[in-house]
Amino acid sequence: MNRNIIETFDLTKRYKLKGRNKDIFALNNVNISIKEGEVFGLLGPNGAGKTTMIQILTTLLNPTNGYAIIDGYNIIKNPKKAKAKVALMLGSNMLYYRITGYDNLKFFCNIYNVPNYKEKINSMAIEFGLEKWLNQYVENFSSGMKMKLALCRTLLLNRDILILDEPTLGLDVKSISFIVNILKNSNKTIFLTSHDMNVVEKLCDRIAFIDKGYILKIGTKEDIKKLIQSEIKIEIKIVENQEKLKYELNQQTFINEYINTKEGFIISLKNRKYYRDLLLILGKFNILKVKEIDLSIEEMFLKIV
Amino acid sequence: MINRKEFKKYLLQIKALTERNIKLKLRFKYNLIISLISPFIFVIMPLIILSQLFEFDTQFGNWTINNFLLYQFLAYNIFLLKNIISEFPNQIRIEKFWKTIPSLIIAPLNRINIFFGIFFSHLILIFIPFTIFFIICYLIYPISFFTIISIIVIFLLIALIFSGIGLILGIFAISNENILGILVFIIDLVFWASCITYPFEIFPKILQEVISLNPFYYIFDFLRATWIEDNIISTIILHPSNFYILISITFIVPITSVFIFNKVYKKFGIVGY
**Looking at residue A241, which CATH number applies to its domain?**
3.30.70.920
* pLDDT tens, position by position, B95-142: 888 888 888 888 888 878 888 999 999 999 999 999 999 999 999 999
Contacts of A59 in chain B (CB under 8 A): 105-106
* pLDDT tens, position by position, B84-95: 999 999 988 888
**A143-156 and A173-184 helices cross at what angle (nearest 10)?**
10
Q: Average pLDDT in the A151-157 region?
A: 93
Q: Average pLDDT in the B201-209 region?
A: 92
**Nearest Cα to A269, choosing from A258, A251, A254, A250?**
A254
Work out how many domains chain A is built from and give that number: 2
- Give residue B253's pLDDT band: very low, low, confident or very high (50, 70, 90): very high
Q: Where are the beta strands (DSSP E) in chain A?
A: 4-16, 23-30, 33-35, 39-43, 65-70, 73-74, 86-90, 161-165, 189-193, 206-211, 214-220, 232-238, 255-260, 264-269, 287-293
Same structural domain, A169 and A257? no
- Secondary structure letter of residue A3 according to DSSP: P
- Tell me, what's the pLDDT at A256? 79
Q: Do A103 and B99 touch (CB under 8 A)?
A: no
H-type alpha helices, A159-296: 173-184, 197-203, 221-228, 242-250, 275-282
**Nearest Cα to A150, choosing from A106, A91, A84, A85?**
A91
Residue with more model confidence, A293 or A80: A80
Q: Do A97 and B9 touch (CB under 8 A)?
A: no
Please count the residue pairs, one from chain A and one from chain B, whose beta carbons lie less than 8 angstroms apart: 71
Does A112 contact chain B (CB < 8 Å)? Answer: yes
Mutation target for A interface from B17, B106, B266, B270: give the one with most A CBs within 10 A: B106
Q: Do B23 and A88 touch (CB under 8 A)?
A: no
- Tell me, what's the pLDDT at A274? 83
Contacts of A62 in chain B (CB under 8 A): 266, 269
Which residue among A226, A246, A262 closes a domain?
A: A226
> Residues 6 or more apart from A126 whose CB is under 8 A from it?
none
Same structural domain, A139 and A257? no
Residue of A nearest to B266 (CA): A62
Please answer whether residues A287 and A237 qualify as being in contact, where contact means their C-beta atoms are separated by less than 8 angstroms: yes
On the question of pLDDT at A271 being above 90, the answer is: no
Query: To the nearest whole number, what is the mean pLDDT of chain B?
Result: 90
* pLDDT tens, position by position, B142-173: 999 999 999 999 999 999 999 999 999 988 88
On the question of pLDDT at A175 being above 90, the answer is: no
Same structural domain, A74 and A10? yes
Torsion of CA A110, B160, B81, B115, to 10 degrees: 30
On the question of pLDDT at B187 being above 60, the answer is: yes
Same structural domain, A143 and A24? yes
- Tell me, what's the pLDDT at A8? 95
Query: To the nearest whole number, what is the mean pLDDT of chain A?
Result: 87
- Tell me, what's the pLDDT at B97? 86
Please provide the DSSP assignment of A60-96 as one string.
SS--SEEEEEETTEETTT-HHHHHTTEEEEETT-SS-
- Give residue A300's pLDDT band: very low, low, confident or very high (50, 70, 90): low
Which residue among A207, A226, A245 closes a domain?
A: A226
Same structural domain, A204 and A258? no
Pairing status of strand A161-165 against strand A86-90: parallel
- Give residue A151's pLDDT band: very low, low, confident or very high (50, 70, 90): very high
> Residues 6 or more apart from A70 whose CB is under 8 A from it?
A5, A6, A57, A82, A83, A85, A86, A161
> Residues 6 or more apart from A216 whose CB is under 8 A from it?
A209, A210, A304, A305
On the question of pLDDT at B50 being above 90, the answer is: no
**Nearest Cα to B262, choosing from B160, B166, B165, B171?**
B171
Residue with more model confidence, A217 or B135: B135
Same structural domain, A49 and A140? yes
- Give residue A31's pLDDT band: very low, low, confident or very high (50, 70, 90): very high
Q: Do A94 and B105 touch (CB under 8 A)?
A: no
Which residue among A226, A253, A272 closes a domain?
A: A226
Contacts of B20 in chain A (CB under 8 A): 96, 99, 103, 107
Q: What is the rounded CA–CA span in Å between residue B229 and residue B255?
A: 31
On the question of pLDDT at B216 being above 80, the answer is: yes
What percent of chain B is modeled with pLDDT above 90? Answer: 57
On the question of pLDDT at A221 being above 80, the answer is: no
* pLDDT tens, position by position, B6-43: 889 899 999 999 999 999 999 888 888 888 888 888 88
Does A15 contact chain B (CB < 8 Å)? Answer: no
Q: Which domain holds residue A73?
A: 4-226
Buried residues in B71-83 as b, exposed as e (16+ CB within 10 A): bbbbbbbbbbbbb
**Looking at residue A147, which CATH number applies to its domain?**
3.40.50.300
Same structural domain, A250 and A269? yes
Same structural domain, A234 and A221? no
Same structural domain, A213 and A275? no
Q: Do B24 and A88 touch (CB under 8 A)?
A: no
- Tell me, what's the pLDDT at B13? 94
* pLDDT tens, position by position, A57-102: 999 888 999 999 999 999 999 998 999 999 999 888 889 999 999 9
Q: What is the rounded CA–CA span in Å between residue B170 and residue B101?
A: 12
Q: Do B107 and A62 touch (CB under 8 A)?
A: no
Same structural domain, A74 and A103? yes
Does A73 contact chain B (CB < 8 Å)? Answer: no
Q: Average pLDDT in the A128-150 region?
A: 92
Same structural domain, A60 and A155? yes
Q: Do A93 and B17 touch (CB under 8 A)?
A: no
- Tell me, what's the pLDDT at B73? 94
Same structural domain, A45 and A183? yes
- Tell me, what's the pLDDT at A298? 61
